[in-house]
Structure 1
């Protein structure tokens, strides 16, 4: 036992330091992942609100679509504002903008075919 001359204590410090550094890295990664998942959740909620609003707004239309319209729809997770952008012949372009409770914004423009009574094109817009 006299041959060790103080080797155990430095080895314990090195192993403990490595363990503590790994633990700190794991906690940091957990926090980053948690923020990322919260952002994804907010984005999906904003997208879902827009999908709900498109279904609700276009549900009553067949061929007699109103010439001018706009409005707001409120849901438990946020609100959606919609307005007619362009109305020519067979197609109408309608913009939907959703805002979640945590101020996440989602915007789309749909191209609605009045004769077919369905959405033809779905254009997602970048938000600031």
Structure 2
């Protein structure tokens, strides 16, 4: 289910809500699984190949998506190179998984590191 939701985000600058139909009161774990997906962007990039190299250097051994992993072994965020629908600009999109919804600081740290090398502007999905 998550892979399809992330695939639907490519090229989009929108907030997506993942929902489940469950009966009864949700457990805290179930609530966390349904939590809103957040995205951050490193926008105004000039060169796709340079972005790929920078992502691969920072998150080695992966590509499309590049994963930021938690110590527990599950992904905190999925990084992809995308073309933004609103202005056609090149960007790196970081989608935070619902299970790690509150770990923005780690994701933003990666984007700021990438910005140091690539330039650009870090934005969230609500602006």
Q: How high is the TM-score relative to the length of structure 2?
A: 0.29
Name which structure has the greater RCO, CA cutoff 8 Å, separation 6+: 2
Q: How high is the TM-score relative to the length of structure 1?
A: 0.29
Q: Which has the higher helix share?
A: 1
Q: Which has the higher strand share?
A: 1
